[in-house]
Amino acid sequence: MFSFLRGITGQRELTPELLDPALAKMKEHLINKNVAADIAEQLCASAKSNLTGKSIRGFKSASSAVRDGMEIALRRILTPRTSTDLLRDISQARLQKRPYTISFIGVNGVGKSTNLSKVCFWLLQNNLKILIAACDTFRSGAVEQLRTHVRSLRAVTSQGHGEVDLFERGYGKDSAGIAKDAISYAKANRYDVVLIDTAGRMQDNEPLMRALAKLVAVNNPDKIIFVGEALVGNEAVDQLTKFNQALRDFSGMSQPRQIDGMILTKFDTIDDKVGAALSMTYTTGKPIYFVGTGQTYTDLKNLRVEHVVKSLLRL
């Protein structure tokens, strides 16, 4: 049947010569979607080694073979390997009669304080009692920013639906100490969750990275969440590796902590250039807990892996 088509539609073997042009296109395509160049390169290299020697059938072209292979790889990288159920973890801490602690870390201006407030709103809706620890004691207005959020969060929380308070010690103080005091205060006053806001810092700024490692070492928070913006390009990789490295090198702990997961902010500003989601999960192997999609409290969503995969491959 259809044997006359055999010449074109029969099996063909994928050779490097067939694959290379398709892979070069794919690489540039991924970079254009804001995937870090290095990662796009590595993904294409592994696609090449997976596909070389495989045979394709019918009208299928090398580029569609590359696309199919890439789709599977992307989905695998983006799908969380660990549980992202914070509410369950919080209720476990509750059974142990201690507050659950989450620290928000990252470079300057990515949305740590705003998304901390969004997470707070979500926790309030789940009837929890929350303490926000103002541990950015450096940036002008950082404390007032959180105070304003606490006021607004209270205004939108109906009676008996959770509580939120601010723990602050002003500016210029040691942030590790403030976090510690906040956690003790939370324990004594039966708060369910402590959300620790930290100052933004550049990953190469050693004194500031040391201070962050100290905050983590002293307080050993239940979750260390790295806040990164979807706008970030190739820097995503360097930021995450160096934050992890600092936590490892400067903590003085025998079993140092690492980033547990990410919040990907400003997802509403990038159209379909969603590559940062891939760069971040590829670099850490850790899940994206939330995606920030705007500047109001309800703009906090779960990452839809299929949406990201589709956007990444869309021409």
Partner 1 sequence: MVLADLGKRINSALSEFTRAPVIDQKVLDQLLREICAALLEADVNVRLVQQLRGNIKSIVNFDELAAGINKKRVIQKAVMDELIKLVDPGVEPYKPKKGKSNVIMFVGLQGSGKTTTCTKLAYHYQRKGWKTALVCADTFRAGAFDQLKQNAAKAKIPYYGSYSETDPVAIAIEGVEKFKKEHFDIIIVDTSGRHKQETELFEEMEQIQAGVQPDNVIFVMDATIGQAAEAQAKAFKESADIGSIIITKMDGHAKGGGAISAVAATDSPIIFVGTGEHIHDLDRFEPGPFIRKMLGMGDMSGLMET
Ligand X SMILES: Nc1nc2c(ncn2[C@@H]2O[C@H](COP(=O)(O)OP(=O)(O)OP(=O)(O)O)[C@@H](O)[C@H]2O)c(=O)[nH]1
Which residues make up the interface to ligand X (CB under 6 A)? 106, 108-115, 136, 139, 142, 199-200, 202, 265-266, 268-269, 292-295, 299
CA 133 from chain center: how many Å? 21
Residue 299, binding choice from ligand X, partner 1, Mg ion, none, Cβ under 5 to 8 Å by partner class: ligand X
Residue 288 has phi, psi (to 5 degrees) of -90, 110
Residue type, 174: D
* Least spacing, CB of residue 250 vs ligand X, in Å: 19
For residues 207 and 222, give the distance between their C-alpha atoms in angstroms, rounded to a whole number.
24
In this complex, which beta carbon is closest to ligand X, that of residue 113 or of residue 281? 113
Q: Could you tell me the two tokens for 66?
A: 């590359």
In this complex, which beta carbon is closest to ligand X, that of residue 26 or of residue 239? 239
In this complex, which beta carbon is closest to partner 1, that of residue 98 or of residue 139? 139
Half-sphere exposure at residue 51, Cβ-oriented, CA atoms within 13 angstroms: 29
For residues 52 and 64, give the distance between their C-alpha atoms in angstroms, rounded to a whole number.
14
Terminal alpha carbon distance of the chain: 35
For residues 294 and 215, give the distance between their C-alpha atoms in angstroms, rounded to a whole number.
29
Residue 204, binding choice from partner 1, ligand X, Mg ion, none, Cβ under 5 to 8 Å by partner class: partner 1
In this complex, which beta carbon is closest to Mg ion, that of residue 112 or of residue 118? 112
In this complex, which beta carbon is closest to ligand X, that of residue 265 or of residue 281? 265
Cα distances (angstroms) measured from residue 97 to each of 92, 122, 186, 191: 9, 21, 11, 9
- The closest residue (CB) to Mg ion is 113
In this complex, which beta carbon is closest to ligand X, that of residue 114 or of residue 239? 114
For residues 124 and 120, give the distance between their C-alpha atoms in angstroms, rounded to a whole number.
6
Task: Please choose, from the candidates 134, 111, 126, the residue with its C-alpha nearest in 3D space to the C-alpha of residue 230.
Answer: 111
Q: Name every residue whose Cβ is closer than 8 Å to that of residue 250 and which is 6 or more positions away in sequence.
A: 209, 210, 213, 214
* Residues in contact with partner 1 by the rule CB under 8 A: 28, 31-34, 37-38, 107-111, 113-114, 117, 138-149, 152, 202-205, 229-236, 238-239, 242, 266, 268-271, 273, 275-276, 295
Residue 253, binding choice from ligand X, Mg ion, partner 1, none, Cβ under 5 to 8 Å by partner class: none
For residues 209 and 246, give the distance between their C-alpha atoms in angstroms, rounded to a whole number.
6
Residue 13, binding choice from Mg ion, ligand X, partner 1, none, Cβ under 5 to 8 Å by partner class: none
* Least spacing, CB of residue 119 vs partner 1, in Å: 15
* Least spacing, CB of residue 85 vs partner 1, in Å: 29
* Least spacing, CB of residue 254 vs partner 1, in Å: 29
Q: What are the beta bridge partners of residue 261? A: 225
Contact between residue 175 and residue 143 where contact means Cβ atoms under 8 Å apart: no
Residue 313, binding choice from partner 1, Mg ion, ligand X, none, Cβ under 5 to 8 Å by partner class: none
* Least spacing, CB of residue 55 vs ligand X, in Å: 46
Strand (E) or helix (H) holding 306: helix 305-313
In this complex, which beta carbon is closest to ligand X, that of residue 13 or of residue 144? 144
In this complex, which beta carbon is closest to Mg ion, that of residue 113 or of residue 219? 113
Residue 203, binding choice from ligand X, partner 1, Mg ion, none, Cβ under 5 to 8 Å by partner class: partner 1
